[in-house]
Structure 1
């Protein structure tokens, strides 16, 4: 097995080293490139995409040579390929095509998600050829669980999660390649330790292709994986991890796939939490992923970018090694401990994920409090949350200005969400009375916050009523926002000379309806 594994990985490595320059040249000629922008894509020039095509092709060459030539020669017998592998091959090819179309034409998020769902449904349900891939049962700490009707949706959810987890970590040079190669090596060791030739060959071939690609994708990258590569890696490793779980009959069955993919899954979970809790679209890209945070820290300390890949590799190796040890020695504690050390360490040291989980805890506490608040006291309860999601600049004075204005003028809700992607800065503040007025009597305003023509966030305000007093309130509100504009610019430009040291105040308007008056008015109407 060791000889076959070594040969398979070597073939993929050599094929990858030969194919990547060819794919890179073709991508540049056709125009499948990633162009920089002023907010999020900060590389110096257009970089070729479509690296996934080279990785997929190199892996496929190594797999076919190993299984149909080397293995029969060494083992003295033909290798029988179960039909489920045909389904995985077809679906992998389809997701490479989907990703390549996205790299070229830039699909909308929902269009890409629909394509992913269709491909995963084909893989799970059997599709056009072969057998499906369904996790039908699990064993949680010795308790057998039959998934029944939930088997299909849970398997699809797992595969979609794996696809998008690897897709989301592909945001800095070499990160997805490094993570993917380590995960594949771990899966290969697990497979070969159990005598599973095909699973091992596929895993080590993909690892070899990714290592070859890393030679061109390490900082500064000359080609990117693109969606064609990151989604393909996610689909394959997600499927292999799922198949690994179905062959275990203990708690390891649940723990192993999660541990192996724990770092990219944690990164994508935190990203979704951040977007949902701040009211952003789940498709809204930012620069607050784990690799972005790590890169910003290393840049601030003057370390070279290569150190980022070293740290990413260490963070990925630990849970993968724990999962491998759990399978070999049939002890789930290794995977649990390794995963807990890495993820818990990032949160407890406030390196990554702490702000989002803190915001989730505060939101959950506010929701719990609202359930215990009696209806006639709801108007007196105010929920106030502010948190720096990323970076170190001081947004507190700007936020305090808005909160003070909301309290003085009996507003019902004000939210400030800032995402200065190119500076790795993020802030979220939300002030709201527990119960908003009925939609029929409320007014809402949204202001994009811009600095030098680039949007850095949004401000949302909810009030109640109409008539002259409300129009006067809106006038003073607009004046306040005009006063705040230089403050936002000074923070973004990091110019302390023009930063106010205390909240900006506007004169209070008289004869404003109070929250209590609104409740009584609503009751009479």
Structure 2
């Protein structure tokens, strides 16, 4: 598909230029501002991979080939809605000074714009009686904002290793594209492939060697678009279960919810405080370390991502095969939650190494 190819080329060129310019312009590298428990790299690296992804999507929004007027309008409204979301992430990447509350406000404004400009609304959950409540406009609005902001942050939370967030996101957008094809939704289909191409243009530099990172700007933009397209699929096509978006993105969603629970109730700390106890971090510290040894950090980083991609597929596969079957999707969500939680606590109880 030419939209995919053009998006890939634009993203590839921009990310290549950022990597080259970063070697000459020190301000493009802000590693000194981003110290924290989730930092697993040593080489100074630009965190502006989201710029290439966003600009590729922007170009396709303005100059999309063979787009009809309705599709072109939807693309432009999506890029308008996502601007503040992307901007908040980029400002954080460059300055590390934008407070979390400000970023959440920007995300909420972006979600509100998507609600009104794109008619992105959650109007059903496919649960008897609950659907009556969720159909109330003010309830629908609040729940939609919450869902979009939640998934926007979720992609950022799983962005811990080379190729992790990018690979997971490509898998999710492929699933969304497949369902869009099944339902003949041209906008969601095209937007998904444009996103896949743009992410791949970044991915080839990010994985396996981490020449450039996604950054908050890239993660926020990807999560925002993912949320909007998922909601639109459900709203515009009754045959798509309201649990499809939950199942297809269950890994980042549950990673986020579990992290909040773990920090607030198990560790008694601030629920949004960053730490190094995410499941992907645990994989890195235990399974990958045991397989590759303690003296291979360059290889341990990218070796972690395929393990998470495999876990993510446990959400993707049932979402694709049973996108129109709510009972099976609900059961699949519960099975994933059980598997994730079982894996996590099994590793924790086996005692983590002390020298990590």
Q: TM-score range by the shorter chain?
A: 0.7 to 0.9
**1:50 paired to 2:48:** yes
Q: 1:22 to 1:164 in 2, by over 3 A?
A: same
* Alpha-carbon RMSD: 2.7
Gaps of 5+ in 1: 1-5, 72-77, 356-387, 394-419, 424-525
1:292 to 281, 284, 309: 281
| Secondary structure of 2:125 counterpart | strand
Contact residue 75 and residue 191 of structure 2 kept, 8 A: no
CA distance in 2: counterparts of 1:11 and 1:228, whole angstroms: 21
User: 1:228 deviation in Å?
Assistant: 0.6
Partner residue in 1 for 2:108: 117
CA distance in 1: counterparts of 2:130 and 2:216, whole angstroms: 38
User: 1:296 deviation in Å?
Assistant: 1.3
Partner residue in 2 for 1:345: 339
User: 1:143 deviation in Å?
Assistant: 7.5
2:228 to 229, 232, 239: 239
User: 1:261 deviation in Å?
Assistant: 1.0
CA distance in 2: counterparts of 1:239 and 1:353, whole angstroms: 33
Contact residue 188 and residue 233 of structure 2 kept, 8 A: no
User: 1:26 deviation in Å?
Assistant: 4.1
Contact residue 286 and residue 352 of structure 2 kept, 8 A: no
Contact residue 248 and residue 319 of structure 2 kept, 8 A: yes
Relative to total residues, which structure has the larger strand share, 1 or 2? 1
CA distance in 1: counterparts of 2:196 and 2:91, whole angstroms: 24
Partner residue in 2 for 1:105: 95
CA distance in 1: counterparts of 2:88 and 2:36, whole angstroms: 27
1:294-325 Cα offsets, whole Å, 9 max, x none, are 11123331334343222222222232232122
Contact residue 173 and residue 196 of structure 2 kept, 8 A: yes
The runs of at least 4 consecutive aligned structure 1 residues that moved more than 6 Å come to none
User: 1:335 deviation in Å?
Assistant: 3.4
Normalised to the residue count of structure 2, the TM-score between the two structures is 0.86
CA distance in 1: counterparts of 2:350 and 2:59, whole angstroms: 43
**1:392 paired to 2:352:** yes
| Secondary structure of 1:43 counterpart | coil
CA distance in 2: counterparts of 1:353 and 1:99, whole angstroms: 32
Partner residue in 1 for 2:296: none
2:321 to 316, 325, 332: 325
Q: Within 5 Å, which residues of 2 pair with 1:184-195?
A: 184-195=173-184
Higher relative contact order (CA 8 A, sep 6+): 2
Contact residue 272 and residue 282 of structure 1 kept, 8 A: yes
CA distance in 2: counterparts of 1:255 and 1:39, whole angstroms: 33
CA distance in 2: counterparts of 1:333 and 1:283, whole angstroms: 32
1:195-234 Cα offsets, whole Å, 9 max, x none, are 1111111111101111221111113301111011000011
1:212 to 184, 201, 205: 201
**1:171 paired to 2:160:** yes
**1:316 paired to 2:312:** yes
| Secondary structure of 1:171 counterpart | coil
Partner residue in 1 for 2:295: none
1:361-394 Cα offsets, whole Å, 9 max, x none, are xxxxxxxxxxxxxxxxxxxxxxxxxxx689436x
Q: 1:39 to 1:317 in 2, by over 3 A?
A: closer
User: 1:340 deviation in Å?
Assistant: 4.1
Contact residue 139 and residue 249 of structure 1 kept, 8 A: no
| Secondary structure of 1:69 counterpart | coil
Work out the number of aligned pairs and report it: 342
**1:92 paired to 2:82:** yes
Normalised to the residue count of structure 1, the TM-score between the two structures is 0.60
Relative to total residues, which structure has the larger helix share, 1 or 2? 2
User: 1:47 deviation in Å?
Assistant: 1.0
Q: Within 5 Å, which residues of 2 pair with 1:441-460?
A: none
Contact residue 12 and residue 205 of structure 1 kept, 8 A: yes
| Secondary structure of 1:172 counterpart | coil
CA distance in 2: counterparts of 1:59 and 1:131, whole angstroms: 16
